[in-house]
Amino acid sequence: KQVIFLNFVYNPFAIPVHRKSVGVGLCFQSGNLIDRVFNTYSLMHTYQTVEFVNQKHTEWNGCNHTRMGMMDAIMSLDQLVDESDPDVDFPNSFHAFQTAEGIRQEHPDKEWFQLVGLIHDVGKIMALWDEPQWAVVGDTFPVGCKFQNSIVFRNNTFLKNPDDNNPKYNTEFGIYEPNCGLDNVLMSWGHDEYLYRVMKFNKCLIPEEGLYMIRFHSFYPWHSHGDYMHLCNDKDLKMLPWVKEFNKFDLYTKTTDLPDVNNLKVYYRSLIDKYCPGVLQW
């Protein structure tokens, strides 16, 4: 199998089977989903701008789209196949239970952590409400400052993004102050930020460590490549090991050995009732 390093070479026939960091690049192997993945990222990197992200915050942060319990939201993901995911090609609800069970095995004393594993991708429900997948799925990155080289497909997908040529936005700090903290940084819009906003709006009881996992688990340039540290404050650095710990289960529980979801629902309903009870506003 051919192996390339994405930060240096783009091969249209290469696809990551497992997203392992090797040196400063990502190890990719050949596969057959690359056209779908590359197209999703091309659209994302063209249209995710400061203006677009602010527009999406206005549109979604009010959580006035529907009312639904968390388990129903999880199971609705059966209708969705993530167009940015090169590892697997089955519905997201299976990945939710796989991730949660992986965490449960290694962290049996941390119920909130297990629940985060279950719900971390639920923000992808936006794709079922007519949001294009390039504004829902995939890796995230800050807007309003220089797009770093560790962003997937960085070299050839930002050419039409107006912010990349705007001197207000294309410097190392852009619109931000040094060590301003990720709370003050506009991330590309997607399921991470949306679910975080839903958790805050509904006053769910997941601790700050879990909220960071939800909000930044797709921020690979940060937690896997060490970029954007110049924007981080002490709180971000304290939370980074938790995001890294979560990432182990998010990536390496994706297998075709699918869990018995019906048998697991009883246990995970009890966690939902404890941390995200009742009918939530989305």
Q: What is the pLDDT along the chain (282 residues), one digit of tens a residue?
A: 333 233 323 332 233 333 443 333 333 344 567 888 999 999 999 999 999 999 999 999 999 999 999 999 999 988 887 777 665 556 668 889 999 999 999 999 999 999 999 999 999 999 999 999 999 999 999 999 999 999 999 999 999 999 999 999 999 999 999 999 999 999 999 999 999 999 999 999 999 999 999 999 999 999 999 999 999 999 999 999 999 999 999 875 555 566 788 899 999 999 999 999 999 999
The structure tokens listed for 89 are: 């090609």
pLDDT at 253: 53
Contact present, 87 and 17 (Cβ < 8 Å)? yes
Judge whether 247 and 239 are in contact, CB under 8 Å: no
Q: How far apart are CA 262 and CA 268, in angstroms?
A: 10
65 is in an annotated binding site: no
**Which helix (DSSP H) or strand (DSSP E) does residue 197 occupy?**
helix 191-201
Beta bridge partners of 14: 30
The span from the CA of 104 to the CA of 108, in Å, is 5
Q: H or E element: which one contains 103?
A: helix 92-106
pLDDT at 226: 98
- 164 in a labelled binding site: no
**Token match 């040196």: residue?**
23
- Please answer whether residues 15 and 22 qualify as being in contact, where contact means their C-beta atoms are separated by less than 8 angstroms: no
3-state SS track over 4-51:
EECCCCCCCCEECCCCCEECCEEEEEECCCHHHHHHHHHHHHHHCCHH
Q: Is 32 exposed, middle or buried (0-12, 13-18, 19+ CB in 10 A)?
A: exposed
Name residues whose C-beta falls within 8 Å of residue 11's C-beta, 6 or more positions apart in sequence. Answer: 2, 4, 28
- 121 labeled binding residue: yes
95 labeled binding residue: yes
- Residue 15 has a pLDDT of 33
pLDDT at 201: 98
Question: For residues 63 and 214, is the Cβ–Cβ distance under 8 A?
Answer: no
C-alpha 261/C-alpha 46 separation (Å) is 38
Q: Is 18 annotated as a binding residue?
A: no
Residue 108, exposed/middle/buried by CB under 10 A (0-12, 13-18, 19+)?
exposed
Count of H-run helices and E-run strands, the chain = 11, 6
- Length of the chain in terms of residues written: 282
| H/E run at residue 215 | helix 208-216
| Contact between 144 and 186 (Cβ < 8 Å) | yes
Nearest in space to 187 (alpha carbons), one of 154, 115, 226, 138: 138
Q: Distance between CA atoms of 159 and 268, rounded to whole angstroms?
A: 44
78 is known to lie in a ligand binding site? no
Question: What is the distance between the alpha carbons of residues 234 and 246, in angstroms, rounded to a whole number?
Answer: 19
Q: Which residues contact 265 (CB under 8 A, 6 or more apart)?
A: 71
Q: Which amino acid makes up residue 171?
A: T
